[in-house]
């Protein structure tokens, strides 16, 4: 099964450079991933790189803790959309949730949702910090706020997605919103287990598309063959042209 259309290819490390973002976008284009997910500082760059593709640009607000003020989340989300983001991910305020201040949790989400208008909104629950009842309550609040996607994890907490939590979310929300899993999904087999458990999207910083691996292996073999040939034939322009055609 080709899972490329389920993948949000993610780069959210604080040390990510412009070159890293360029590489991320190029790999996303090569593999036909659904989206890239990047920090707000690089949204404009990604927009330039992906403007001629159907690949979505997702960006984050209140990331990774969710403890910033609602006003700060709103500003960052609006700026990301202005710069070209197609989707926004916000982290739920877990302190409010743990305090059972559910009205504030809901308002936090709704204010961001209203600020970005028709732009899809994902809410990150950070399931590693929640018990079963808290996961269910968090999902219910997300549905009340008309969230588009409920995401398990930021990838920056003590652990990421679990099959158990994914099934709890699916049972709670049914088909009223999409489910995105992330954190610790580093191979094709694991991704398939989550899709079978009810996930609609996969967030990962690893290129887990099997087709990509075989394509890269094939291209490496072609490149080596012509490198050897060119060494013997004095690097003729015709040989390089032929190699370029085969690599396409």
Span 169-180, mean pLDDT?
Answer: 98
**What is the structure's pLDDT at 85?**
98
Check 89, 113, 122, 126 and give the catalytic one: 89
Q: How many angstroms separate the CA atoms of 32 and 186, rounded?
A: 18
For residues 48 and 8, membership in a common domain is answered with yes
Considering the domain architecture, whether residues 167 and 66 belong to the same structural domain is answered as yes
Per-residue pLDDT at 1: 86
Higher local confidence (pLDDT), 142 or 218: 142
Query: In the predicted model, is pLDDT for residue 241 greater than 60?
Result: no
**pLDDT at residue 220, as a whole number:** 47
Average pLDDT over residues 165-191: 96
Tokens 């709103």 correspond to what residue?
74
Say which residue, 246 or 3, is predicted with more confidence. 3
| 172 and 222, same domain (yes or no) | no
For tokens 């970005």, name the residue.
Answer: 116
Quick: pLDDT tens for 74-128. Answer: 999 999 999 999 999 999 999 999 999 999 999 999 999 999 999 999 999 999 9
Confirm whether 89 is a catalytic residue.
Answer: yes
**CATH label of the domain that carries residue 171:** 3.20.20.70
Question: For this structure, is 224 an active site residue?
Answer: no
Average pLDDT, the chain: 89
Cis geometry, peptide bond prior to residue 220 (ω within 30 degrees of 0) = no
| Percent of the chain residues past pLDDT 90, beyond the cut | 81
Residue 227 belongs to domain spanning: 215-247
What's the pLDDT score for residue 145? 98
Q: Do residues 192 and 142 share a domain?
A: yes
The whole-angstrom separation of Cα 26 and Cα 13 is: 18
Same-domain check for residues 150 and 228:
no
- Same-domain status, 197 and 221: no
Q: Using CA atoms in the order 230, 231, 234, 239, what is the torsion angle rounded to 10 degrees?
A: 0
pLDDT exceeds 90 at position 246: no
Bin 234: left if φ > 0, else alpha if -120 < ψ < 50, else beta. left
Backbone angles phi and psi of 88, in degrees to 5: -120, 135
Distance, CA of 191 to CA of 71 (rounded, Å) = 35
Q: Please compute the mean of the pLDDT values over residues 148-154 and round it to a whole number.
A: 97
Residues 113 and 234 in one domain: no
Identify which has the larger pLDDT, 214 or 205. Answer: 205
Instruction: Summarize the confidence of residues 202-216 as an average pLDDT.
Output: 74
Distance CA 208, CA 9 (A): 10
Over residues 12-20, mean pLDDT: 96
Domain count of the fold of the chain: 2
Taking only the tens place, the pLDDT of each residue in 35-59 is 999 999 999 999 999 999 999 999 9
Q: What is the pLDDT of residue 65?
A: 96
- Output the 3-class SS for the chain: CCCHHHEEEEECCCCCCHHHHHHHHHHHHHHCCCEEEECHHHHHHHHHHHCCCCCEEEEEECCCCCCCCHHHHHHHHHHHHHHCCCEEEEECCHHHHHCCCHHHHHHHHHHHHHHCCCCCEEEECCHHHCCHHHHHHHHHHHHHCCCCEEECCCCCCCCCCCHHHHHHHHHHHCCCCEEEEECCCCCHHHHHHHHHCCCCEEEECCCCCHHHHHHHHHHHHHHHHHHHHHHHCCCCHHHHHHHHHHHC
Both 204 and 226 in one domain: the answer is no
> Do 231 and 137 lie in a common domain?
no
Q: Tell me the average pLDDT across 227-247.
A: 51
């Amino acid at each position: 099964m080709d899972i490329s259309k389920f993948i949000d290819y993610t780069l959210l490390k604080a040390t990510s450079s412009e070159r890293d973002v360029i590489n991320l976008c190029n790999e996303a284009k090569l593999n036909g991933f659904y989206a890239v997910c990047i920090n707000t500082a690089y949204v404009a760059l990604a927009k330039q790189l992906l403007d001629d593709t159907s690949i979505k640009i997702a960006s984050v607000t209140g990331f990774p803790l969710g403890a910033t003020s609602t006003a700060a989340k709103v500003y960052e989300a609006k700026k990301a959309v202005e710069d070209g983001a197609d989707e926004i991910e916000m982290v739920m305020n877990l302190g409010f949730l743990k305090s059972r201040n559910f009205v504030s949790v809901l308002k936090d989400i709704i204010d961001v949702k209203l600020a970005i208008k028709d732009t899809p909104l994902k809410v990150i629950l950070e399931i590693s910090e929640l018990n079963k009842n808290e996961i269910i309550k968090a999902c219910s609040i997300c549905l009340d706020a008309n969230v588009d996607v409920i995401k398990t994890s930021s990838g920056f907490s003590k652990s990421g997605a679990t099959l158990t939590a994914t099934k709890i979310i699916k049972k709670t929300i049914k088909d009223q919103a999409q489910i995105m899993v992330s954190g610790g999904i580093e191979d094709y087999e694991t991704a398939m287990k989550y899709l079978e458990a009810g996930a609609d999207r996969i967030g990962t910083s690893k290129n887990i598309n099997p087709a990509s691996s075989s394509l890269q292996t094939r291209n490496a073999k072609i490149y080596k063959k012509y490198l050897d040939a060119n060494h013997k034939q004095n690097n003729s322009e015709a040989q390089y042209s032929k190699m370029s055609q085969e690599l396409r």
